[in-house]
Chains A and B, each alone.
Chain A
Amino acid sequence: MQGKHTSVWVLLAGLTLGCGPSDVAPAPLCGKAPARCRVLSLANLFDRVIQHSARMRAISEDLHWEFERHHAPSGNSIGRVSRNCHTSNFLTPNGKETAQRMAHEELTRVILKLLAAWRDPLWHFHQITANHSSDQALDMVQELGKGVQKVAEKMQTLGLLSNSVGEASWMEDLLGRENGEWRLMKEHELLYCFRRDSDKIQNYLKILKCRIVPEHSC
């Protein structure tokens, strides 16, 4: 069931994200000069994905704040995190330089894993709360997953990735993360972790973009 969903989503991603965010004009723009065109489209893809991640970060902040406000926590929220985030055992870089030293494909894989790991918990959370923010969060995670998938494919065609982090990785992570650790977490912990992971994803994407698509500002 989820495999079918994924294939459909990936197909849609190929149709929408591949064409839309990459170029201003449709495919004929890339007809004549593929090399020049690909570089441009990758930068645009990155920009779009980073915008998405910023949006997701804002939604996660809203979710967390809403929950904290309504459920009257006392004390520091960190102190109340008694459980590990289900994504904490991922070997994610915890600093700027650590992330910069990481290989392209590894960083991309980390991003994809993070995004894949949050699909089910957010879906579950949406079933519980069923408010607009949770619905948005779920959509954002899925869209961002497709976007990063597209970026990864583009990078692969450009030869920037040594091994494949394409669709197979996405599927694998989706199927592999069925450990259900997230079910043990409380809602406030989930939201706290989601906020943290959104921040991670945004920063990782920015670092990746600066390394892949060098700009004057990097």
Chain B
Amino acid sequence: MFQLLISSAMVSLPSSSLLPLLLMSSSAWLLSPASAFDSDRHQLKPSGPVEPHFTKCISRDQTTFSCWWSPGSFHNLSDPGMLKVYYQKHLFIPPSSSPSKTEWNECPQYFHSRRECFFDKNHTVIWTPYCLQLLSRDNITYFNTDDCFTVENIVRPDPPVSLNWTCLNVSPSGLNFDVLVMWKPPPSADVSMGWMNIVYEVQYRERNSSNWEALEVQLEPQTQQTIYGLDLDKEYEVHIRCRMKAFTKFGDFSETIFIKMSEIPAKDSFSLLTLVIVLAIVAAAILIMWIVVSQQQRLMVILLPPVPAPKIKGVDPELLKKGKLDELNFILGNGDLIGGPMYSPDFYQDEPWVEFIEVDVKDSDTGEKEDLQALDTERLLSGSQPARHRAGCSNFPSFPDCERAYNLNVPNEDASATLTCMLPGQTNDRLSSHSINSERGERLPVSSQSSAPQTWVNTDFYAQVSNVMPFGSVVLSPGQQLRTQDCAPASNDDVKEAKKYSKENNKQKDPQLQLQMLEPDTGSRTQQMIPPSYCFVPPECYQPNEPQAAAEAFQSPYVSPDSPQTQCFSPVADYTVVQDSQRGVLLDPPSLQSASSCLSQHPLKVVPTTGYVTPDLQGVLSP
């Protein structure tokens, strides 16, 4: 019972407190030959003559084992050779169900100096009970049934080797530090194959302390362990022991290593250097960001240079794409967009670097016919300089009236019923400017429209271009005059006609070329002399078409306003010169010597005099 209590105490208490108990019990164990081989149970028997007995039997590698004996209080048997060791193995030979014991064999190898009996691997079997006894010369056997054991139960591994430690980290307060202790398993234990499954126990203490602090025994074999919370200014010593995982007996302790943290000046400098580097990087980053932000515009231009694209101020760039000529012509013809950003959605508000083509038609109230005519001609004949803003006007910088002449307010927002009122001179200007600018091939002629009813100035609407000079100037022949009439809301179709331009690249070959016209209803291409009737001018003759007709007219750029309402036509130019070009066709406006005959019965043939003809449509127009 008492031994049971002790054994239970052995198991439940932590190993640190087991040590004194073990010492006590071992001493008690010496008194009685109670077996301590198999377990840590010890008996405390009353003192008396102690007969020779075995003190311990230990296996270090589970392949061999040794037993040590003691003569006890029989000192006459202490001489070597007085006592002999015999062992017996309990072999179980079938079919007997009782353990059959072998004969008693003598110890295979004696170490009398140590009173040790060593069993080498040839004499060692595992999982087999051994019983040992001592035999004196007098043939007295000293045998205790408790001295039977199996080898695996007496395994106490050697201590681990190659202990060393490293500092893991130091606490932020600088008072404590953590240490990682590393070691190697005992060389005698065959841990690699797994023959022995060894777990370790690490103990440490302060240098001058007497109590060892034991860390918990590992659950799985590991050859390193961390000790936390050591004081920086103290010195520690550490030793390790191990045991078989499935058993309870620890081996001896290893050698002691000392842990002492030296001064750590390098850490401060290291942190200082890190701080400096970090600050430098942050400063550089801020500088780069400031540069980027301040030079944003320039960087944008450098990194993302603007792509030149056909852009007409006030015109949706979508319309300038191929295939959308109808809408463009409508816009140009109606003039609801041209004239200024204030009246039209400015599509390029965010692109200040875009070069615009702005053509403003000045108010019809201003200027006189002759002045304008002369003005225009001179303009046409003079050189040209590019300007950023008003392309149409840029060619004639010498004329201060340029701005005025080309400024036309278009307060009209209604696309369906746009007023159109163009002065012949202005048309000429546009045309000429276009013809001159066509060589640059960059800008589209944009017509401005006037929305307000204006009185027609008795000026030529068109001028026949007699010749185009090599350097781009256009020689105009004097056009005809038109009646001054009140502008009434003209049909959209007519407006569209008037607003069509074509680009001219080549020289004018024949001033009188035949125009090819498209009839909207038939769609056929017929070449005929364009009647001189030009229906742009006399607005009173025109009555506004219905939007549907206008819509129909938009289908093709060459719509002839087949409006039954048209009753009379003002004289228009005789013909329109078609200039073939690679990029389009420039249709010269017809001369204005037309008879003022109402050609109501005639569908007004389209005079795509000033319309932009795309190259694909040019095939239609080719003479």
Contacts and interface: CB of A to CB of B under 8 A. Distances in A.
A94 interface: yes
Contacts of B148: 76, 78-79
Interface string B105-129: 0000000000000000100111111
B128 A83 contact: no
Contacts of B265: none
A184 interface: yes
Q: Which of B11, B98, B197 has the most CB of A within 10 A?
A: B197
Nearest to B95: A89
B226 to A, nearest CB: 24
Interface string A36-73: 00000000000000100010011001000100010010
Contacts of A83: 97-99
A130 to B, nearest CB: 24
Given A61-B246, A81-B99, A97-B121, A75 B145 contact: yes
B40 to A, nearest CB: 12
A161 interface: no
B4 to A, nearest CB: 6
A106 interface: no
Interface in B70-106: 92-99
A210 B193 contact: yes
A218 B191 CA distance: 9
Nearest to B197: A54
B8 A94 contact: no
B26 interface: no
B352 to A, nearest CB: 61
Contact of A84 (B3, B11, B35, B92): B92
Contacts of A78: 38, 129, 148-150
A215 to B, nearest CB: 8
A75 B125 CA distance: 23
User: Contact size class for A?
Assistant: 35 or more
A175 B479 CA distance: 126
A96 B62 contact: yes
Given A84-B92, A218-B193, A196 B127 contact: yes
B616 interface: no
Contacts of A97: 63, 121
A159 to B, nearest CB: 24
Interface stretch (A9-17, A19-27, A199-207): A199-207
A84 B149 contact: no
B193 A199 contact: no
Given A88-B92, A94-B125, A217-B193, A58 B246 contact: yes
B588 interface: no
Given A76-B38, A78-B150, A210 B194 contact: yes
Interface in A80-97: 81-85, 88-89, 92, 94-97
B146 A76 contact: yes
A84 B101 CA distance: 11
Contacts of B193: 206-207, 210, 217-218
Nearest to B125: A94
B190 interface: yes
A85 to B, nearest CB: 7
A216 B296 CA distance: 63
Residue among A84, A184, A200, A207 with max Cβ neighbours from chain B (10 Å) = A84
B192 interface: yes
A111 B38 CA distance: 26
B316 to A, nearest CB: 57
A76 B33 CA distance: 12
B164 to A, nearest CB: 22
Interface in B159-195: 190, 192-195
A49 B92 CA distance: 28
B97 A181 contact: yes
Nearest to A199: B152
B195 A207 contact: yes
Contacts of B245: 54
Contacts of A202: 197
A79 B126 contact: no
Given A74-B3, A207-B194, 4 more contacts: A72-B1, A88-B99, A95-B126, A206-B193
8 contacts: A72-B4, A74-B3, A83-B99, A94-B126, A94-B128, A199-B152, A206-B194, A218-B193
Interface of A: 50, 54, 57-58, 61, 65, 69, 72, 74-79, 81-85, 88-89, 92, 94-97, 181, 184, 196, 199-200, 202-203, 206-207, 209-210, 217-218
In the A-B complex, list the 4 residue pairs whose CB atoms are closest, starting with the nearest.
A206-B194, A89-B94, A88-B92, A217-B192
